[in-house]
């Protein structure tokens, strides 16, 4: 769905207009229920709903959607940039991706949710960033997308083989999110159809 909508975003369009296309695309593809957010990186109010803020060249397109198919939620987030990214943007993306992937790798059976949060917080600290978000991910289940174990500070819940997690260490508009299956060894990436190696570049017309 994001791969379909990202290329259609144009400079001057509002968050509200693009959000409406995302919801329509999910519904058209068979989703029974869709909710989420889509904001420009110039909008300082995140998770406040879509607004009439217009996308401009150089903006990030931050998103966080959940689409339910036959009662089961799909949940992933990818960053897109309108136009050619700057060197600073690429450094920020690479930093985000590095910590995102390291945090995913820590999600193994026997580790506590609090240990995962502490690890991600520590990785950000190494980069000179004070991580203040309340979580770095959460469990996924049928009919409700955000369940325990929530990967939050001091949580003693132990990850078990077979759990599905949405992992999303985030800061401001820097937000990647993937679904993983917890196993005894390295977790299995479920949301693998839209790679994260690079931000999605939207041709600015």
Query: Is the bond leading into 159 cis (omega within 30 degrees of zero)?
Result: no
Going by the DSSP 8-state scheme, the letter that residue 92 receives in this structure is H
**Confidence at residue 28, expressed as pLDDT on a 0 to 100 scale:** 93
pLDDT given at position 74: 86
The pLDDT assigned to 33 comes to 86
Residue numbers of the chain with a pLDDT score lower than 70: 143, 204-205
pTM here? 0.93
Task: Write down the pLDDT at residue 15.
Answer: 96
pLDDT in tens, 88-124: 999 999 999 999 999 999 999 999 999 999 999 999 9
Please give the CATH number for the structural domain made up of 2-202.
3.90.230.10
What pLDDT score does 197 carry? 96
By DSSP bridging, strand 80-82 and strand 72-76 are unpaired
CA distance 124 to 92: 12
User: What's the first-to-final CA gap in the chain, in angstroms?
Assistant: 21
Count the neighbouring beta carbons within 10 Å of the beta carbon of residue 119. Answer: 19
Cα–Cα distance, 55 to 82 (Å, whole number): 8
């Amino acid at each position: 769905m994001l791969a379909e909508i990202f290329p259609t975003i144009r400079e001057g369009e509002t968050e509200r207009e693009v959000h409406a296309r995302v919801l329509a695309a999910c519904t058209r593809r068979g989703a029974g229920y869709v909710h989420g957010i889509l904001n420009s990186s110039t909008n300082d109010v995140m998770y406040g709903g879509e607004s009439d803020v217009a996308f401009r060249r150089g903006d990030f397109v931050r998103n966080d959607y959940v689409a339910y198919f036959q009662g089961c939620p799909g949940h992933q987030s990818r960053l897109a940039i309108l136009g050619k990214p700057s060197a600073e943007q690429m450094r920020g993306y690479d930093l985000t991706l590095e910590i995102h992937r390291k945090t995913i790798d820590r999600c193994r059976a026997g580790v506590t949710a609090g240990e995962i949060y502490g690890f991600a917080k520590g990785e950000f600290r190494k980069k000179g960033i004070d991580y203040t978000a309340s979580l770095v991910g959460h469990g996924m289940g049928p009919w409700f997308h955000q369940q325990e174990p929530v990967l939050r500070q001091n949580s003693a819940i132990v990850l078990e083989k077979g759990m599905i997690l949405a992992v999303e260490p985030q800061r401001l508009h820097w937000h990647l999110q993937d679904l993983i299956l917890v196993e005894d060894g390295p977790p299995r990436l479920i949301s693998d159809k839209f790679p994260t190696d690079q931000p999605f570049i939207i041709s600015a017309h």
